Structure 1
Amino acid sequence: MEKQTILVTGATGATGAPTVELLMQKGYPVRAFVHKEDERSTSLKVLGAEIFVGDLHDMEDVRAAWKGIKRGYFCYPLSPNLLDATVMFAQAAKEAGAELIVNLSQKQVASTVKSPATIRHFLSEETFNWSGIPTVHLRATFFSEWFLYVSAAIKAGKLQMAFPERARHAPVAGEDLARTIVAILDEPEQHVGKAYQLFGPEELTYTEIGEIFSRALGKNIVYEQVSIQEMADIIGLGESDHFKNHVAHVISDHLFAGPHMNDRIRTITGKDPMKLAEFIGKNRAAFEA
């Protein structure tokens, strides 16, 4: 039986790109929704993906992206525009008769959160639920890819972020999230209507994370807690109030509160998620001067 095309948004990102690749390995045609054509979209085209260039804030673009498709993955960056994109995506999916949406959300989603980004994810989840389209929400903790954003500081011997050195969480790699996304898109029946918190395999403090970087890179990497503004400047988001307000509230919104980890990724995919040391090894060039 011929497999149906699957729509992947955020197709050049940390979860989208490996999702496209893994779906194609399973024999699924993929329509990769991208904002522009560049080297990243070209690499997906080489794999055989259909590249759809559009804007998630243009209703006609989103309708066209869903044409002839029944399953899709929704991923949107940390942005105050999340809800507009969600509503358009859900409406276009409903018009297309969609049978499944996998939605990437946040670990600490709740109706009482203070972060402007996280409350939007809560409302985004509710919007998909209201739409009546069968949906699975993936509430991921901080990605391992966050450390790539501060790689320049790591090269200089410092891991600099705005969180307390004893704050604990289990960073998860985009590749492992992608395997989870693909497993659900492939066999959704037991997952529809569920919301899963997703973690990496190690509960770590930032001090311990610095020690892992030190061992993996063979040099001393010291964790240093910096201000939210300094962290935003390091990442290149110094002018983004939305990002800074989000970071300011992640502790009160219980990002670092339990549960810190579970075996959900292994249960869904049959494979353990990668440890941080393995992630560093795969991205070693980004962390070395």
Structure 2
Amino acid sequence: MFLTTGAGGGVGGVSRLVAEGLLARGQRVRATVHRDDERAEALRTLGAEVLVGDLTDPLHVSAALDGVSRMFFSMGVSPDYLEATAVVCAAARERPGLEVLVNMSQMTVSQMTATSTEESRQQRLHWLAEHVIDWSAVPRVHIRPTVFLDNPLFTLLAAGPIRDRGVLALPFGSGRTSPIAASDVAEVVMAVLLAPHDHVGSVYELTGPATLDLDGLADQYARALDRPITAERLPYDQWADQLAGSPLTPHVQQHIATMARLHREDRYNRSTTDVERITGRTPRTVEQYVRERRDLFDGRRDDRP
């Protein structure tokens, strides 16, 4: 039995994609969700056993782990992240037969120390969560993706200026980035879950296929949308003021604002081949990702590969 947590939400829906992929391969999947909504019902329709609950609730987590041999631990951006990690690890230690806990982390963790202060509160929680998992001695694999293409930076917050003015307006300065699609992260997670003994103890750092500055990103959007898109390097403070007016929670806003600042400081200029090495396939380009979501950026859709 496979367990995927956070299958009802999170940026890009990696846990949902993992659950769907495992079900398509004929595996038994239990998925935990925070709310019983249409996303939960869709998983049931596909054949998943769906549990509704809270990852900070020991009773819920213990019930979710019953009979599970392989687990993907993922949770949306939340101030409760570290508590949930501790509860999951405590419950996992009491359950015999767990072959692997695959942990969704973040690549920025690799640049952090016990006393670093430049990162977001969420990134600090991920750094601490990795240590809690390691201290628990549960057989584990840490998955550290770089920024997701599904992140609001490249979708929700980018879409308006692209639609209205044909500009990709972000405060990245001259910083470079290699964003990755959630679907590629999900493929790596599935590969690990399906053959855990080849991976236990590993840390995988996942990036897209190329590091791009803002002009390079704009060119990828232009190719996908078949129209000119130019880069606009916003002053950080101006952009942060705009972010403050978004419907995102303060915790999420602080996380995204920090990610933008770290982009500006070139902290996302990183590249690995882990996706291709584990899955045998090159990760998706920005162009491919945007082309599949043309409706978000200009109301049209294009399903070319």
Do the structures match in fold with TM over 0.5?
yes
Contact 1:162 1:231 in 2 (8 A): no
Is the aligned partner of 1:148 residue 2:155? Answer: yes
Partner of 1:45: 44
User: Which one-letter code corresponds to 1:272 in the other structure?
Assistant: T
With over 3 angstroms needed to count, the CA separation of the structure-2 counterparts of 1:9 and 1:162, relative to structure 1, is farther
CA displacement at 1:254 relative to structure 2: 9.5
Is the aligned partner of 1:199 residue 2:204? Answer: no
With over 3 angstroms needed to count, the CA separation of the structure-2 counterparts of 1:256 and 1:232, relative to structure 1, is farther
Larger mean CA deviation between 144-153 and 99-108 belongs to 144-153
Is the aligned partner of 1:138 residue 2:143? Answer: yes
With over 3 angstroms needed to count, the CA separation of the structure-2 counterparts of 1:80 and 1:208, relative to structure 1, is same
Is the aligned partner of 1:177 residue 2:161? Answer: no
CA displacement at 1:249 relative to structure 2: 6.5
Partner of 1:211: 219
Larger mean CA deviation between 257-266 and 78-87 belongs to 257-266
Contact 2:143 2:205 in 1 (8 A): yes
Scaled by the length of structure 1, the TM-score of the pair is 0.90
CA displacement at 1:285 relative to structure 2: 1.5
Contact 1:136 1:191 in 2 (8 A): yes
C-alpha RMSD over aligned residues: 2.2
Offset from partner CA, 1:56-111 (integer Å, 9 cap, x none): 12111111111111211111222221111111111111122222111111111122
User: Which one-letter code corresponds to 2:217 in the other structure?
Assistant: I
CA displacement at 1:259 relative to structure 2: 6.2
Scaled by the length of structure 2, the TM-score of the pair is 0.85
Query: Mind listing any 5+ residue stretches in structure 1 that lack a counterpart?
Result: none
Is the aligned partner of 1:99 residue 2:99? Answer: yes
Partner of 1:122: 127
Partner of 1:190: 198
Structure-2 separation of matches of 1:132 and 1:12: 28
Larger mean CA deviation between 221-230 and 167-176 belongs to 221-230
Query: Mind listing any 5+ residue stretches in structure 2 that lack a counterpart?
Result: 300-305
Contact 2:177 2:263 in 1 (8 A): no
With over 3 angstroms needed to count, the CA separation of the structure-2 counterparts of 1:88 and 1:250, relative to structure 1, is farther
Larger mean CA deviation between 123-132 and 253-262 belongs to 253-262
Is the aligned partner of 1:113 residue 2:116? Answer: yes
Partner of 2:79: 80
User: Which one-letter code corresponds to 2:229 in the other structure?
Assistant: I
CA displacement at 1:241 relative to structure 2: 4.8
User: Aligned with 2:32: secondary structure?
Assistant: strand
User: Which one-letter code corresponds to 2:277 in the other structure?
Assistant: T
Contact 1:108 1:254 in 2 (8 A): no
With over 3 angstroms needed to count, the CA separation of the structure-2 counterparts of 1:245 and 1:184, relative to structure 1, is closer
Contact 2:178 2:268 in 1 (8 A): no
User: Aligned with 2:245: secondary structure?
Assistant: helix
Is the aligned partner of 1:268 residue 2:278? Answer: yes
CA displacement at 1:253 relative to structure 2: 9.3
